[in-house]
Homo-oligomer: A and B are copies of this chain.
Amino acid sequence: MYMKKESARPIISRRSRPAKTPLSRDVIVSSALEILDRDGLAGLSLRRVAAALDTGAASLYVYLTNLDELHALMLDEALATVQLPKSRRLSWRDRLKAFLLSYLHVLYNRRGLAQLALSTISSGPRTLLIWERLLGLLKEGDVEDAKAAWGVDLLTLYVTAIAAEKSNWRESGEGPGRVKDALLSASVEEFPLVVAFREALLSGDAEARLDWALDIIIDGIVGGRLPAASSAVPRPTQRRGTRSKP
């Protein structure tokens, strides 16, 4: 039995009797993820989730505060399927990369989940478990605590972003066509380096790029400097803190 935030009293569905599926947060989230898989983020709406559960959109508000909360619950639920390889024969680093690859697969393979992840603040138990595992792997690699903490932030943000980017290409139906066109038609007078680097810019598949980038980042986390408590770089006016921030 789940309790909606700031509601001290448990919610009991009046559908405990047969015929209609009893409503609950779990049922709503599961149904929403099914719709996401089928129709992508553009096809996900409270009305469609309600219709799938044979109810009205307003009924969902008994269990959810709003659409943002549904998104957060969906993301956390989906992260349950991220897999950590169990084999101890792999190095900590290879297991870390495999874990991050699994994380990317979960985000990428469910239509729209990666985009949802980039606009959703998730802090549920499965998200915490992702952080726990990442910290464990970095600890196993003898990474200093401060670097591990900020490294987790960097790694998860990067993997989420690249999953979303790839998803955007897929959803657009033209892959990198538009960028390719821009590069191929770029003026050598205006963009000499872009034209000179054209082949390199277009080379490699997404997997190769990810693998390389993760090596770059992990190497940096392992061998780079410790985070400073503060920095002298000029800063924009905003609050501290970032999403998925462990």
Q: Tell me the A residues contacting B by CB distance below 8 Å.
A: 97, 101, 104-105, 108-109, 115, 118-119, 121, 123-125, 127-129, 131-132, 135-136, 139, 145-146, 148-154, 157-158, 160-162, 164-166, 168-170, 172, 175-176, 178-183, 186, 190-194, 197, 200-213, 215-217, 219-221, 223-225, 227-231, 233-236, 238-246
Identify which of B127, B203, B227 contacts A209 (C-beta below 8 A).
B227
For the complex formed, measure the closest distance between the CB of A88 and the CB atoms of chain B, giving whole angstroms. 18
Distance A225 CA – B223 CA, assembled complex (angstroms): 14
Contact status A121-B220, CB under 8 Å: no
Identify which of B128, B169, B207 contacts A233 (C-beta below 8 A).
B207
Known A132-B193, A197-B148; judge A121-B178 contact (CB<8 A). Answer: yes
Distance A191 CA – B44 CA, assembled complex (angstroms): 32
Known A131-B194, A178-B123; judge A242-B206 contact (CB<8 A). Answer: yes
Contact status A217-B217, CB under 8 Å: yes
Q: Give 30 A-B contacts (CB < 8 Å), ordered by A residue.
A: A121-B169, A123-B182, A125-B190, A127-B182, A131-B194, A139-B193, A149-B200, A150-B200, A150-B212, A153-B201, A153-B213, A157-B162, A170-B238, A170-B239, A194-B246, A201-B245, A202-B245, A204-B230, A205-B230, A205-B235, A205-B241, A206-B238, A206-B240, A207-B235, A207-B236, A208-B228, A212-B224, A212-B227, A215-B225, A219-B219
Distance A221 CA – B209 CA, assembled complex (angstroms): 12
Contact status B108-A209, CB under 8 Å: no
Distance A219 CA – B215 CA, assembled complex (angstroms): 12
* Identical copies of this chain, number: 2
Known A109-B236, A220-B217; judge A169-B243 contact (CB<8 A). Answer: yes
Look across to chain B and name the residue whose beta carbon is closest to the beta carbon of A230: B208
Contact status A244-B179, CB under 8 Å: yes
Contact status B164-A118, CB under 8 Å: yes
Distance A225 CA – B239 CA, assembled complex (angstroms): 36
Within 8 Å CB of A221, what residues of B? 216
